């Protein structure tokens, strides 16, 4: 028996995705003793999970598990705060579920963009298209990537829509790593794979044996690429690179999840959990290649960093892991109710791509960017919900409930017996929702959403789902993980005929400026920089909206983005970005500007390599698998040659055995032709249909004459004590000193407002002074950043009183002072009013009851793209809720950024903490107007 | 033909051998040969609380696996080991269990019963130095364990049905297992002679808690709802603990015929069940209750060297198909040749219907035969 426990290897590779498969294969072919550790299972053709049909046997499912979190299944969906990541767990890594798009990086992908750290493009070890060309050819050869022979219906549709929008020449068919050859006869499958027995309808479509002797079927166009190919038509890594690795004698361990990498003298000690036996195991090696995917590679390095380098990981240091993390600008859109049937389910998941490239003309050019929109099959991200959507809660008499059964299965109180019949994924969702619902109810904020729901009349029977969505989406504004919001928006999404639905997958070059860190509880989180405006996603949405219009349908974007501004990605990259210095130079004293060098070697731990997308210093924009493969090929050859040089043997000249053959033929990269076309004539900008938001706010304040600083002095440092003093005097002075304001605040273009720094809304309304009532005009600027811990809400208003024009300049300062000051800050504006009589100071306050009863329910959506078909009523409400929550997210999100921890503490303390938050007696004026208000 | 005989059609016994397992003093194993010597020897190993006639049952009368193999020209041997419910075996097990309850467990059955039977069949088969084994459910688990513990066992082709060395239960049952309810219910309703662990239970904290719980259960009257151990209720008890061993929808006739069930399922072997529960909690076979259990490592090498076929039903609610998937991945990891390691998850099938369904002769038996090296299609079904 070949036991790995305690064994010693030349190299250990962690992860069997695009990086790890190359490393394992080449190390084994070079004759080195290599051990590959993969946390996921092996998936035979028949093992790929398929969503279950409604069934009297809820335990039944087809294939192995869906969710890594639930039963170590295929999909690992990680919610990291500022980013959701969908990744695969299995032998073959992401290739098991990717759409097989094999695309080189865009022409200028490796060039520097602005002052952001980028790829090392100088020196003999530069990374450029020229230096990578041979490796790209090798990767394409290994994966047998080539143009698809068929034009599928959905590709033609995308081209037609693009054409209608004046983008006809910008669509191309990418090369696919898919087998389109062989017979289509349903025949007995190859041994060793799970499949149906003879005589039954499911069969493995017999194709051919590939270059590695592994049987592969022919693509039947079932559109399930991202659920795992049950025909082995996708040229997944287990059928080529990993098969070659196994044939060359690599030791392969699946269901082996690495828990740590440590130094053991000159060597590395790798420990892992053997999930089959629930046992910890270890092995040692001279070199370790971490290829666990950008998220997991970075997480493993963060957790092992102290062991490896003797230093705790430091977020401030560029040579420590965590930085330059991004999602390659991924976003998803669904077009509903297209004029013609799209048949999005027919053909490989991705068959064509629309390129958009327009160099920005200025820093805040909303039209500038590089992005692609590809036709999609089934969005991978929605997978965990398929169990749910297919499930019908049984009634007592056994009959399935109505179409909302799945929703009720999720949210209704159920007996333990019925709960036991739920699919595991649904139980998991229920448990998470319950936890969050309890937490949210404790926060008391359900008050506000209840009020909103009641005002809008959403509590009528039959509107249950919309009500629930509203709660969930608003609740989701602060909760870290709102599956409910996703589900709710799907409810709005899954109307209309299934074949009139198109999936659009967008990607592009995001700024890769997220940071992965371990939080205080040791959980991995992705942190976004403040004021990140996500212009790329907005541009993608506009472009997709144009396509939807051309298709005669309506667009919904990824609800997590739409509602929570949390992008979801299937292409995470960065976290261990490469610097420009070579490891040897760093050892000689050069200051490192990244985590790994341009060959993937970790500066701080020589012998440890990162060979996956974690090493990307910047987003490339295109589907990244080909680039990961090419870089891994390049880097592993260098490693093998260095081993050879050190030993003085033939490995010093080693080259991949397929290299020469691969150079002879290579598929053309269709992306480049379109890029050149767009270099000559940039893409026309997409249309812009602004969505507006409006709400009503009521304030009340008392003013008294005082010395007022001039406006700029007031803006930088409002005289808080003087204002409070003036408020006291005004209060004592009675009604003549009172100012009541009822303001209608609106912005016609939410996106532009959010994108701008000042976030200015226009204001109209009424001022009540004494017995008089006067029209008010002016502006309100929301969350103007003052410094990193302070933001301001600025009112700049004027009205015409009998004695002449009054101007009012008010400022709410939102700052995290000691104490629970959130509500006070948010509801308190320190003001200076200038009248012909002279300057007055005072305080304007928003009363909590007004906020709940008036302001929250008054938030509404205005404008928007004209719809080709009138959406159903509920769907319209749902769509509106998106935009509302988008605004609310921005607002509350900004506030929470400042109050974050303290608010959390108060909430954690439950009701008492919340009361303290709303009535922080110590900081409240003892005779403020709020205390006298009787309702 | 009517009644159980319609479905259970015992083949004529040509030879019966009573064997003494290595750890016991009395003969408790029964080997039954049902076809003439001279063909390839095939040993059939039944599951827990079933008996060897489980291979002679099919809803299509005469369409059972034993007959299918006989028709292929095999010399078929049926084994009743100490997991059997066959009355004649039980009568002999009783004193043996009473004399040495400690040996009467899963690992003992694997080491001493399966091994003994395999060697006996090889000795009885002139011209053959190996025997092919087709095992089902716990019988398959024990056979796999026996081979892992003794790689020199003269087993040729190996067909494991629904279980190997890995035990993955459906979630609902996992709750029963994790809370030790399986042992509790098994012990509660089993004849005392099959519960030689009463003293051990009393000395164990977990079981003292269970005993306390039992008192409460009795007081609130739940005890009255528990199935009683006589007649067909052995089967009901099995269902309660493990889930129904077949999909009722697939097998209505057999389901209606309780007498057939009674003929196939008898009393439980409590210690064996206790070990299986422990194996489920661990997720794989372990040397529980044996010295050196911690150092116990399962060996993949004897499987890698042989032709192995893993079969289970996609809808198996007794043992989750992942039991076999895990075994398959483990063997591939340890270098199994994909051409010699076959893995089938048969759609439309559950557990017991892999053997008993009227269509099994069309859908399942050919997979078993192919695993043993017979070309498909030689016999028309």
CA B363 to chain A, closest CA, distance in angstroms equals 6
Contact residues for A419 (Cβ-Cβ < 8 A; gap 6+):
A427, A430
Question: B303-318 burial, b for 16+ CB within 10 Å, e for fewer?
Answer: bbebbbbbbbbbbbbb
Cα dihedral value B61, B66, B70, B72, nearest 10? 90
Contact A772, A793 (CB under 8 A): no
Q: Which residues of A touch B346 (CB under 8 A)?
A: 196-197
User: At residue A785, what are phi and psi to the nearest 5 degrees?
Assistant: -70, 130
Per DSSP, helices labelled H in chain B are 65-71, 87-99, 106-108, 115-123, 138-149, 171-178, 181-189, 198-203, 205-219, 233-242, 252-256, 258-264, 270-282, 301-304, 322-333, 353-356, 360-363, 365-371
The DSSP result for A230-260, as a single string, is TTS-B--GGGTHHHHHHHTT-EEESSEEEEE
Taking CB atoms and an 8 Å limit, are B342 and A46 in contact across chains?
no
Distance separating alpha carbons of residues A154 and B324, to the nearest angstrom: 39
Which residues of chain A are under the pLDDT cut of 50? 1-2, 51-60, 184-205, 379-407, 436-497, 531, 533, 559-560, 562-564, 817-823, 865-879, 889, 892-935
Distance separating alpha carbons of residues A825 and A924, to the nearest angstrom: 11
- Which residue from B276, B257, B260 is spatially nearest to B268, judged by alpha carbons? B276
CA A114 to chain B, closest CA, distance in angstroms equals 48
| Residue A198: closest C-alpha in chain B | B363
Partners of A527 in the β-ladder: A515
The DSSP result for A89-134, as a single string, is -STTGGGGTS--B--PPPTTTTS--TTS-----SSTT--SHHHHHH
Residue A724 CB neighbours (<10 A): 17
Taking CB atoms and an 8 Å limit, are A196 and B171 in contact across chains?
no
**What's chain A's Rg over C-alpha atoms?**
30
Question: What is the token pair recorded at A134?
Answer: 């041979």
Residue A782's pLDDT is 75
Instruction: State the best of B181, B281, B345, B372 to mutate against chain A, taking most chain A CBs within 10 Å.
Output: B345
CA B193 to chain A, closest CA, distance in angstroms equals 34
Question: A12-25 burial, b for 16+ CB within 10 Å, e for fewer?
Answer: bbbbbbbbbbbbbb
Taking CB atoms and an 8 Å limit, are B172 and A191 in contact across chains?
no
Q: Which residues of A touch B305 (CB under 8 A)?
A: none
Contact A21, A241 (CB under 8 A): yes
Instruction: State the best of B320, B333, B350 to mutate against chain A, taking most chain A CBs within 10 Å.
Output: B333
**Length of chain B in terms of residues written:** 381
CA A4 to chain B, closest CA, distance in angstroms equals 10
Residue A429's pLDDT is 58
- Compare CB distances from A62 to B301, B314, B340 and report the shortest one's residue: B314
| Residue B377: closest C-alpha in chain A | A198
Give the model confidence (pLDDT) of B243-288 as tens digits: 555 444 455 455 556 566 656 665 666 677 778 888 888 888 876 6
Q: Which residues on chain A place their C-beta less than 8 Å from a C-beta of chain B?
A: 1-3, 41-42, 44, 46-47, 57, 59-60, 62, 64-65, 71, 91, 188, 190-200, 202, 252-255, 276-278, 420, 424
- Compare CB distances from A42 to B170, B329, B340 and report the shortest one's residue: B329
CA A479 to chain B, closest CA, distance in angstroms equals 29
Partners of A807 in the β-ladder: A798, A834
Taking CB atoms and an 8 Å limit, are A198 and B322 in contact across chains?
no
Taking CB atoms and an 8 Å limit, are B326 and A200 in contact across chains?
no
Taking CB atoms and an 8 Å limit, are B330 and A252 in contact across chains?
no
Partners of A810 in the β-ladder: A795, A831
Distance separating alpha carbons of residues A648 and A706, to the nearest angstrom: 87
CA A201 to chain B, closest CA, distance in angstroms equals 10
Residue B11's pLDDT is 93
- Compare CB distances from A191 to B299, B333, B342 and report the shortest one's residue: B342
Report the complex ipTM.
0.83
Distance separating alpha carbons of residues B369 and B373, to the nearest angstrom: 6
Contact residues for A255 (Cβ-Cβ < 8 A; gap 6+):
A38, A39, A40, A41, A72, A274, A275, A276, B326, B329, B330
Distance separating alpha carbons of residues A768 and A851, to the nearest angstrom: 18
**Length of chain A in terms of residues written:** 935
Taking CB atoms and an 8 Å limit, are A59 and B339 in contact across chains?
no
CA A3 to chain B, closest CA, distance in angstroms equals 9
Distance separating alpha carbons of residues A587 and A247, to the nearest angstrom: 37
Distance separating alpha carbons of residues A129 and A135, to the nearest angstrom: 10
Contact residues for B333 (Cβ-Cβ < 8 A; gap 6+):
A42, A252, A253, A254, B300
Taking CB atoms and an 8 Å limit, are A44 and B328 in contact across chains?
yes
Give the model confidence (pLDDT) of B214-255 as tens digits: 555 445 444 433 333 333 444 445 554 555 554 444 554 555
Residue A512's pLDDT is 84
Q: Most distant CA pair in chain B: distance in Å?
A: 64
Residue A413's pLDDT is 56
CA B53 to chain A, closest CA, distance in angstroms equals 25
| Residue A202: closest C-alpha in chain B | B347
- Compare CB distances from B367 to A2, A64, A197 and report the shortest one's residue: A197
Element (H, E) at A447: helix A446-455
Q: Which residues of A touch B175 (CB under 8 A)?
A: 420
3-state class of B379 per DSSP?
coil
Q: Which residues of A touch B315 (CB under 8 A)?
A: 57, 60
Instruction: State the best of A257, A277, A419, A422 to mutate against chain B, taking most chain B CBs within 10 Å.
Output: A277
End-to-end CA distance of chain B: 22
pTM above 0.80, yes or no: no
pLDDT at residue B84 greater than cutoff 60:
yes
Residue A144's pLDDT is 93
Q: Number of residue pairs across A and B with CB atoms under 8 Å?
A: 99
Instruction: State the best of B329, B354, B378 to mutate against chain A, taking most chain A CBs within 10 Å.
Output: B329
Question: What is the token pair recorded at B220?
Answer: 């609130």
Q: Which residues of B touch A47 (CB under 8 A)?
A: 325, 345
| Residue A427: closest C-alpha in chain B | B171
Task: Place B145 in a pLDDT band, splitting at 50, 70 and 90.
Answer: very high
Taking CB atoms and an 8 Å limit, are A197 and B366 in contact across chains?
yes
Distance separating alpha carbons of residues B18 and B80, to the nearest angstrom: 10
Taking CB atoms and an 8 Å limit, are B329 and A46 in contact across chains?
no
Contact B339, A192 (CB under 8 A): yes
């Amino acid at each position: 028996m070949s036991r790995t426990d305690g064994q010693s290897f030349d190299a250990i590779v962690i992860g069997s995705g695009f990086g790890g498969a190359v490393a394992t294969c080449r190390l084994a072919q070079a004759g080195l003793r290599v051990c590959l550790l993969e946390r996921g299972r092996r998936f035979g053709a028949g093992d790929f999970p398929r969503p279950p049909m409604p069934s009297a046997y809820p335990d039944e499912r087809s294939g192995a598990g869906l969710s890594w979190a639930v039963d170590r299944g295929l999909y690992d969906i990680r919610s990291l705060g500022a980013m959701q990541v969908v990744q695969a767990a299995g032998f073959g890594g992401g290739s098991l579920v990717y759409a097989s798009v094999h695309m080189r990086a865009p022409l200028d992908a490796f060039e520097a963009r602005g002052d952001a750290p980028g790829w090392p493009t100088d020196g003999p070890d530069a990374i450029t298209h020229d230096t990578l060309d041979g490796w790209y050819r090798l990767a394409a050869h290994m994966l047998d990537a080539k143009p698809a022979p068929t034009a599928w219906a959905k590709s033609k549709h995308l081209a037609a829509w693009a054409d209608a929008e004046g983008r006809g020449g910008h669509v191309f068919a990418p090369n696919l790593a898919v087998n389109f050859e062989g017979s289509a006869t349903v025949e007995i499958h190859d041994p060793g794979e799970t499949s149906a027995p003879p005589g039954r309808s499911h069969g493995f479509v017999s194709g051919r044996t590939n270059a590695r002797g592994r049987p592969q079927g022919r693509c039947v166009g079932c559109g399930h690429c991202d659920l795992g190919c049950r025909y082995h038509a996708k040229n997944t890594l287990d059928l080529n690179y990993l098969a070659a690795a196994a044939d060359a004698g690599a030791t392969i361990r699946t269901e082996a999840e690495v828990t740590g990498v440590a130094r053991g003298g000159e060597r590395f000690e790798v420990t892992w959990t053997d999930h089959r036996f629930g046992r910890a195991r270890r092995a040692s090696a001279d070199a370790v290649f971490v290829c666990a995917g950008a998220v997991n590679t970075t997480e493993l390095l963060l957790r092992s960093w102290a062991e490896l380098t003797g230093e705790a990981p430091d977020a401030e240091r560029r040579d420590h892991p965590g930085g330059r993390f991004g999602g390659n600008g991924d976003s998803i859109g669904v077009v509903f109710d297209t004029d013609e049937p799209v048949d999005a389910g027919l053909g490989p998941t991705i068959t064509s791509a629309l390129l958009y490239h327009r160099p920005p003309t200025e820093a805040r050019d909303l039209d500038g960017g590089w992005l692609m929109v590809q036709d999609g099959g089934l969005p991978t991200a929605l997978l965990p919900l398929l169990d749910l959507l297919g499930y019908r809660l049984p009634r007592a008499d056994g009959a399935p409930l109505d179409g909302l059964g799945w929703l009720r299965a999720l949210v209704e109180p159920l007996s333990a017996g019925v709960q036991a019949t739920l699919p595991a994924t649904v139980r998991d969702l229920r448990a998470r929702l319950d936890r969050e619902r309890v937490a949210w109810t404790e926060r008391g904020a359900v008050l506000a959403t209840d009020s909103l729901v009641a005002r809008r009349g959403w509590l009528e029977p039959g509107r249950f789902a919309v009500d629930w969505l509203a709660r969930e989406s608003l609740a989701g504004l602060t909760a870290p993980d709102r599956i409910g919001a996703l589900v709710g928006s799907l409810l709005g999404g899954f109307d209309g005929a299934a074949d009139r639905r198109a999936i659009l997958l967008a990607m592009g070059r995001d700024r890769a400026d997220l940071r992965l860190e371990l939080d205080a509880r040791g959980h991995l989180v992705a942190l976004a920089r403040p004021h990140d405006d996500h212009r790329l996603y907005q541009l993608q949405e506009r472009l997709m909206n144009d396509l939807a219009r051309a298709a005669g349908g309506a667009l919904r974007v990824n609800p997590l983005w739409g509602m929570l501004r949390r992008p979801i990605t299937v292409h995470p990259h960065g976290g261990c970005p490469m610097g420009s210095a070579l490891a040897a130079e760093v050892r000689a004293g050069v200051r490192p500007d990244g985590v790994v060098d341009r060959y993937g070697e970790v500066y701080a731990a020589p012998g440890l390599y990162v060979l996956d997308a974690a090493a990307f210093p910047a987003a490339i924009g295109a589907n990244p698998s080909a680039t990961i493969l090419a870089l891994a090929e390049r880097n592993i050859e260098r490693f093998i040659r260095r081993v050879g040089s050190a030993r003085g043997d033939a490995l010093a000249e080693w080259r991949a055995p397929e290299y020469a053959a691969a150079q002879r033929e290579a598929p053309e990269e269709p992306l480049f032709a379109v890029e050149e076309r767009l270099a000559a004539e940039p893409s026309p900008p997409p249309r812009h249909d602004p969505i507006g938001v409006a709400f009503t706010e009521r304030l009340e304040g008392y003013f008294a004459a005082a010395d007022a600083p001039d406006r700029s002095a007031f803006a930088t440092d409002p005289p808080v004590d003087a204002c409070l003093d003036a408020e006291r005097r005004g209060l004592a002075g009675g009604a003549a000193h009172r100012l009541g304001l009822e303001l209608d605040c609106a912005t016609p273009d939410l996106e532009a407002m959010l994108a701008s720094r000042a976030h200015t809304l226009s204001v109209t309304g009424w001022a009540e002074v004494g017995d008089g009532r006067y029209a008010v005009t002016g502006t309100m600027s929301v969350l103007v950043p003052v410094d990193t811990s302070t933001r301001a809400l600025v009112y700049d208003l004027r009205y015409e009183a009998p004695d002449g024009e009054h101007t009012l300049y008010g400022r709410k300062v939102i700052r995290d002072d000691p104490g629970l000051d959130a509500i006070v800050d948010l509801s308190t504006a320190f003001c200076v009013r200038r009248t012909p009589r002279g300057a007055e100071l005072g305080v304007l306050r928003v009363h909590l009851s007004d906020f709940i009863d008036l302001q929250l329910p008054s938030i509404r959506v205005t404008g928007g793209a004209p719809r080709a078909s009138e959406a159903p009523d509920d769907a319209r409400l749902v769509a509106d809720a998106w935009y509302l929550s988008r605004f609310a997210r921005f607002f509350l999100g900004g506030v929470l950024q400042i109050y974050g921890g303290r608010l959390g503490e108060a909430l954690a303390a439950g009701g008492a903490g919340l009361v303290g938050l709303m009535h922080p007696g110590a900081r409240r004026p003892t005779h403020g107007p709020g205390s006298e208000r009787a309702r | 033909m009517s009644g159980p005989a319609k479905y259970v059609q015992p083949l004529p016994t040509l030879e019966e051998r009573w064997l003494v397992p290595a750890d016991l003093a009395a003969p408790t194993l029964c080997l039954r040969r049902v076809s003439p010597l001279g063909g390839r020897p095939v040993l059939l190993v039944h599951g827990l609380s079933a008996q060897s006639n489980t291979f002679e049952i099919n809803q299509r009368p005469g369409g059972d696996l034993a007959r299918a193999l006989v028709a292929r020209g095999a010399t078929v041997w049926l084994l009743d080991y100490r997991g059997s419910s066959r009355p004649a075996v039980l009568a002999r097990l009783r004193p043996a269990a009473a004399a040495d309850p400690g040996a009467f467990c899963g690992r003992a059955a694997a080491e001493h019963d399966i091994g003994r039977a395999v060697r006996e069949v090889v000795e009885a088969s002139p011209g053959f130095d190996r025997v092919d084994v087709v095992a089902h459910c716990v019988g398959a688990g024990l056979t796999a364990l026996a081979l892992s513990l003794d790689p020199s066992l003269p087993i040729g082709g190996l067909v494991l049905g629904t279980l190997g060395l890995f035990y993955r239960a459906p979630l609902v049952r996992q709750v029963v297992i994790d809370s030790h309810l399986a042992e509790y219910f098994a012990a509660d309703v089993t004849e005392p002679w099959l519960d030689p662990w009463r003293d051990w239970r009393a000395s164990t904290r977990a079981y003292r808690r269970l005993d306390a719980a039992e008192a409460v259960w009795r007081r609130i009257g739940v005890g009255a709802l528990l199935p009683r151990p006589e007649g067909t209720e052995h089967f009901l008890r099995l269902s309660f603990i493990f889930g129904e061993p077949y999909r009722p929808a697939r097998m209505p006739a057999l389901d209606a015929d309780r007498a057939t069930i009674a003929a196939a399922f008898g009393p439980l072997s409590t210690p064996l069940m206790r070990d299986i529960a422990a194996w489920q909690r661990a997720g794989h076979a372990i040397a529980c209750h044996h010295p050196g259990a911690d150092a116990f490592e399962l060996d993949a090498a004897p499987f890698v060297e042989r032709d192995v076929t893993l079969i289970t039903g996609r809808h198996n609610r007794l043992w989750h198909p992942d039991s076999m998937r895990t075994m398959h991945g483990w063997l591939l990891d340890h270098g199994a040749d994909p051409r010699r390691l076959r893995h089938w998850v048969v759609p439309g099938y559950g557990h017991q219907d892999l053997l008993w369904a009227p269509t099994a002769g069309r859908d399942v038996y050919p997979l078993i035969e192919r695993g043993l090296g017979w070309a498909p299609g030689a016999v028309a079904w």
